[in-house]
Amino acid sequence: MPQHRQIGVAVVGAGRIGAMRAHLAAAHPAVRFLAVSDADPARARALADKTQARVSSADNLEVISHPEVDAVIVSTSEHEHTAPVLQALECGKAVLVEKPIALELEDASRILAALEASRGNLRVGYSRRFKRRYLTAKEQVKLGRVGKIVGISARLYNTRAQVYQMLNRNPGATPVVDSLTYYVDLLGWYAPDNPVVEVSAWGQAGTIRARGYDCDDVTWAILRLADGAIVNLGVSFAFPDHYPSLGYSGRFEILGTEGVLVIDDDHLDQLLCTEHGIPHIYVPDHTVNMAFLGSSAPGDWAEGDFWGPLASETRAWLDHLSTGRPCALTTAAEARNNLAVTLAIEHAVASGKPVKLSPAWASAAA
C-alpha cells in the first residue's frame, strides 16, 4: 500500500479554472489545508468561503509562503503565471501551473532555470492529456500498435463567444498560443524525442479582426519533425457564437507505418436541445438552446462534483504529491518547447516565411 502524505495547497488565481481546482483540492482526501489568493480580494474571499479554505488573501506570497502550504496551483491569467511560479519555487513548494507555461520564451526559460536551481517539482496543466480518448490513444501508441508515426493531422474549432473571453483577458492568449498548444502538447507526448524542426503557417483574417482584435479567423500550420514526419495542425475559433459546442471541437489523426488512430472529438454523440437555455461553462451570461454535451474542455459539474479532464488531472497531481506515484502531467521542459513551437507558428504567419526551430532559434527568440 502506498504511503499517503497529507498536504497543504494554495490556489493562486480564483477565476474560472482556479475555482474548479480549489473545489477539487478541497475534496481530495490528502489535502488537509487550503488557501486561496487573487488580485481581487473579494473573489479570493468568495472562493475561500465556498471551499472552506482557511486563508484568503490578495497577496500571493502570503498564501505561497504559508508554513502549512506544500504545493501551489497557479491559475492566474496567462501573462501573470511567471511571478507566482518563481515565488513558489523559491519557497520550495511543488507547483502546478496552467498552460501555457508563459507567453514569452524568456519567462519560460527563467522558470526552467529556477526549477533546476531549486531542484523542485513543477508540472503544467495540459488537461487534454487526461481526456479518456487521448489517454487511451497514448497507451496504444506506446504499445506500438500504429508503428512508427509518419504523419499527424489535427484541427481544433471553437466559437467567437469563447475567443473574445480569451482575448479580452489577454491579447497574447490567441487560439494558437492558448489552445492549439494542447495539440502541440499531444504531438510531443505521442511522438517523444522527435522535436519539431521546421514550421510553415498561414492565417486568414476575418470577423475576429473586424471586431478590433489582432487575431486571424483561421490558422493552418505544417510542421516537420526531426525524423521527417509531417504534421498538419489547424485552428479556427471563428465559429458562430451559438454553435452548439460549449468548448472545443476537435479531430486528431495519427498515421503510422503499421496502423492509424483516429480520434473524433467533435462531441456530436450527445445532443441536448431545450427551450430552457443551457449555460456555457466558460462564457458568462451566454446560453445556447442546442448543445453538444461533453464539449466543455475542462469537464462538467454533475451530482455536486466536477468530472472530466481537469478533475482527473488535478486528482492525478495531488495523488502524485501525496503518494509519490508517477503522473502524466506535462513537464516544464516539454511546456517550454511547446511555447517555442506555437510562437514559431505565429512568427511564420506574420513573416510569411518558414521558421527553422533549433535551440539557437529558441534562444534568439528569447
Ligand X SMILES: NC(=O)c1ccc[n+]([C@@H]2O[C@H](COP(=O)([O-])OP(=O)(O)OC[C@H]3O[C@@H](n4cnc5c(N)ncnc54)[C@H](O)[C@@H]3O)[C@@H](O)[C@H]2O)c1
* Contacts with ligand X, residue ranges (CB under 6 A): 12-18, 37-40, 43, 60, 75-78, 80, 98-99, 125, 127, 169, 178, 297-298, 310
Return the C-alpha cell found at 18.
482556479
For the purposes of burial, counting CB atoms within 10 Å of the CB of 198, is it exposed (0-12), middle (13-18) or buried (19 or more)? middle
* SS3 state at 111: helix
- Round to whole Å and give the CA distance between 52 and 56: 10
Give CA–CA dist 304/26, Å, rounded. 13
- Cβ closest to ligand X, residue 77 vs residue 109: 77
Q: What is the largest CA-CA distance in the chain?
A: 59
Task: Give the CB-nearest residue to ligand X.
Answer: 15
Residue closer to ligand X, measured from CB, 256 or 309: 309
Continuous segment of H or E residues that includes residue 159: strand 149-159
Q: What is the nearest approach in angstroms of ligand X to the Cβ of residue 174? A: 11
Grid coordinates representing 166?
480569451
**Least spacing, CB of residue 56 vs ligand X, in Å:** 12
Q: How far apart are CA 44 and CA 35, in angstroms?
A: 9
Q: Which is nearer to ligand X, 84 or 195 (CB)?
A: 84
How far does Cα 269 stand from its chain's mean position?
24
Sequence-distant (≥ 6) Cβ neighbours of residue 229 within 8 angstroms: 149, 150, 151, 152, 191, 194
The least CB distance from residue 62 to ligand X, in Å, is 11
Task: Say if CB 151 and CB 228 are below 8 A apart.
Answer: no
Please, which residue, 22 or 141, has the CB nearer to ligand X? Answer: 22
Nearer to ligand X, 283 or 288 (CB): 283
Q: Judged by CB, which is closer to ligand X: 38, or 149?
A: 38
Residue with Cβ nearer ligand X (167 or 231): 167
CB-nearer residue toward ligand X: 297 or 340: 297
Cβ neighbours, 10 Å, residue 33: 18
Nearest distance in Å: CB 276, ligand X: 25
Cell (9 digits) for 134 = 487521448
For residue 78, the minimal CB distance to ligand X (Å) is 5
CA distance 99 to 108: 11
Cα–Cα distance, 189 to 184 (Å, whole number): 9
Min separation Cβ 12 and ligand X, Å: 6
Q: How far is the CB of 114 from ligand X (least distance, A)?
A: 17
| Amino acid (one-letter) located at 298 | P
- Minimum distance of ligand X from residue 294's CB (angstroms): 14
